Chain A
Amino acid sequence: MIFENALDFFLRMDTAKMLAYFWPFFLLDMTRYLLLDVVVISIYSVKNWFQRDKIERARRQLYSEKPLVSLIIPGKNEGKHIPRLAESLARQTYKNIEIVIVDDGSDDDTEEICRKLEQEGKIDRFIRNEVRGGKASAANTAMRFSHGKYIVHIDADSHLAFDSVETILLPFYMDPNIGAVGGDVRVANTGDAFVTRLQGIEYMKAISTGRTVSSELGILRIIAGAHGAFRRDILNRLHGWDVGPGLDGDITLKIRKLGFRVVHEPHAVCYTNVPKTFRALAKQRFRWDRSMVRFRVRKHRDILLMNSNFSILNFLASAENIFFNLVLDFKWWIYIIQIVLFNPSVLEYIFLINLILYMLANYLEFLVACALLHSSMRRRDFFLVLYIPLVPIYTGIYLRIVRTYAYIMEFLHGASYMDKWNPWKVSRVVKREKL
């Protein structure tokens, strides 16, 4: 009954009314996340088809030069994931690699596991910092004691597809101005829980499609820590990573500021383990979302200013992120207030129609992702389509509440400085110096 009434309500609206009731969808989300995706991914696919020879030339050049590539893996208490990761690295098609693992003061059996792997020759170097210093310090340790021309940063709870290292290196041989390449991060444990399946869909949309689109538009603002490749000379200039959380986004902007391109490579696949409960997920996103405020709005606000280093693409990369994530996050609350105040009698119809619109949009976005990734998708990834009707509630309500709370806490209290993700000794200094 309510469906019939809602449909009737929707069909009787003219365009102006429709925009007045559903402006967030039609004016913002559909335009940015659906239409733009369809257009850019279509162009990207055609461009890639025409670039086949260029890609092959890059591959030949890579194998002719055969540079040493350092795969660095910082982590704390990640020992249980390391053997699988080491196994996936041993199977890489590109063989001239050195694997450097840095243990950031683990208090479990990580050291024993890694020392054994080191003795067995499955990893090249294992460095243990007895005292925890935070992820950035661990990554910098690995960088200091690695020797490769390229450095691939991998999260310890991830593993790579067999050709991932080779694929992530190709862009460097296609454009010498590329400073860093982001790998495609997909969910390894989609089958573990309901929440991991939802994240599986989200990663396909936001990372695989979303970052490919940003990359094509030249406004990619993050190279994932789970899987990102960097030129060593550039990392040396930057002296590595700064204190996090959000160090991956931070270093991406720093590379952009140096004038180098950063791109996303959707076929360099990395599978990562995601939180299995809504509570753990909220904690993770709380951290991620706060870093957006800390780094984009505070640390790298100079990107938004007209100065001698101004770059329109850098401006757009940051501004787009701030606008669509931060500003439009608050637009939702304005929209809800608008509906509640002015149209309380049709509240349920508007909610239902929004749900259906976003569900349809998600189906289309999933289709776009499948078109982009079909060659590297696992069979079980296609079954995620069954969970799409629930995605609007997951992203539109659950994640939005977490995000809003994170932004408010960061703006009002600088909550990221108190995050246990960094040891207190580090957070204290970074907060004092407003870094």
Chain B
Amino acid sequence: MRKPCLVGKDKQVVPEDVLSIELTMIESLDSQDVSCWIVDMSDWRKGWQKIAAIREHLSPKVYLRPVVYLHADNSMPAEISKAADGQLAHGLDNSKGLDELSSRFEATNQWIDHLPDPNAAVDANIAFKVLRLIASRNNVQEPVTTVRRKSGYVYPILEPLFSKRDEGALETLEFLEAQKLISGDFVSKAHFCSSCSSAFINFKEACPQCGSDDLNVDELVHHFRCAHMAVMSDFKRGSSMVCPKCDRELHHIGVDYDKPSIMYSCNHCSHGFQEPSIMTTCYNCGRSTEPENQHTRLIRAYSISAIGQNAASYGMEALFSKILDSELQLCSFDAFRDFYRVEAARIKRYKKSESSLVMIALRDIDKLYVRLGGRATEVFAELSTVFRTVLRLSDVITARNESIFFVIMTETSTTYAERAVERLHEGIIELLTNNLDFDPDMSSLIKPITVDMDLDQTLEAFLQS
């Protein structure tokens, strides 16, 4: 029988049927015995830090485990109060309540237990963690509005995953949806600053001539008797309305006058108009532009799809590698090893040419889809094109994961291989840095292919570096 575990007991007396552990020691606990993490929220800011630490943990056994609030009060923001899987209403002494809680989370815990190799697994990819969190809860993740995040919306359960950065949840969910791993239902539509992605945008009416937002709005008044048309202020005489043309008092709207329209007038340039321009100004970065230049995003409620459920259990195929594979026909690592062996033997036998082994690490590639969401696919396709233009058909390529690539450049000296890697680097920098202001962390190592070189050791050494 699993038991709830209080995280950071402080000075509390913990009953026997509740485990307790300090946050720093959480990894040492066999969390398979834990039904949920209990977090004391009497100081919700401190409690929130603990939840964030749990969710940011790399082990799925830790971060996927349900979280329950103890001593939750009403002062905490709505998105934080909804970020837990449950609340302990009657404290730790109510053993019946604790049992009920444990049994309530049994389905989620069994889902975690069924993950392949859950003890050794390390989930570093944030998109994968999001997917697993959604899959393990198997419910709909509804967005909640907030003023604490510049994105304006949060998904409470996922929120602690993004506690250290003020962006990424919407983009990550969009990315997962684009991969058909989760499906979304429309909730709302929101405008985001195209510069800083803030949802806090001020929409204001502006003069179409000078752009000033110092405007007056006045109703137009039509006096039936004499056909006089003027703004309301022209008719005002004290508390009554008198026609400036025929000096008659206006009594009843619809009987002796009406208001057929409104007019704006600009206090800056005196321009009169009916259709003001709409301008938006971002509260976060201060950028002003027309609404059509801002980014519009659909806010959706997400649930796991059948493919997503499978991917959450057995791993997510790397999107970039998938696109690269369609462009360059990546081979499996075993095949790569065979190619390497044959090439090394060929070079040794003929001694007429040289070939190079190139190892490329393109780190932070996952940050791209966190940043770009569904649009990451287009950028990955562009990246693949850069690879294709630099590498040749005779080159043999494999991907260790989404960020590490090994290439056998046949009939290529290390000098030429260096040039090729330089071109690759330049192409990637131009695409990501110049166009997207994204600075990729790229490193490479080039070795001549020889029979003496142990491929696995060389690759491992590169990975360690």
Contacts and interface: CB of A to CB of B under 8 A. Distances in A.
A34 interface: no
A420 to B, nearest CB: 15
Nearest to A433: B225
A433 B275 CA distance: 36
Nearest to A430: B225
A130 B227 contact: no
A128 interface: yes
A366 to B, nearest CB: 38
Contacts of B259: 131
Interface in A100-153: 105, 115, 118, 125-134, 136-138, 140-141, 144-145
Interface stretch (A76-84, A235-243, A339-347, A381-389): A235-243
B274 A133 contact: no
Interface string B225-252: 1111111000000000000111000000
B256 A136 contact: no
A243 B254 contact: no
Contact of A137 (B222, B254, B263, B273): B222
A240 B230 CA distance: 11
Contacts of A133: 222, 224, 227, 229, 258, 260
Contacts of B455: none
A240 to B, nearest CB: 7
B224 A145 contact: no
A316 to B, nearest CB: 28
Interface string A231-255: 0000000011111000100000000
Contact of B258 (A126, A131, A141, A241): A131
A115 B275 contact: yes
Contacts of B246: 239
A425 interface: yes
A425 B224 contact: yes
A418 interface: no
Contacts of B222: 129, 131, 133, 137
Contacts of B230: 144
Interface string B293-335: 0000000000000000000000000000000000000000000
B260 A125 contact: no
B220 interface: yes
Nearest to A428: B224
B220 A140 contact: no
B272 interface: yes
Contacts of A134: 227
A235 B275 CA distance: 27
Given A131-B258, A131-B260, A429-B256, A125 B272 contact: yes
Interface string A191-218: 0000000000000000000000000000
A243 B225 CA distance: 7
A240 B246 CA distance: 11
A127 B274 contact: yes
B227 A429 contact: no
Contacts of B254: 425
Nearest to A102: B229
B261 interface: yes
A140 B260 CA distance: 13
A426 interface: yes
A352 interface: no
A249 to B, nearest CB: 15
Contacts of A327: none
Contacts of B275: 115, 118
Contacts of B231: 144
Given A128-B274, A129-B222, A239-B245, A105 B227 contact: no
A408 interface: no
Interface of B: 220, 222, 224-231, 244-246, 254-256, 258-261, 263, 272-275
Given A131-B222, A133-B260, A144-B231, 10 more contacts: A127-B261, A127-B263, A133-B227, A141-B220, A240-B227, A240-B229, A425-B224, A426-B224, A429-B256, A433-B225
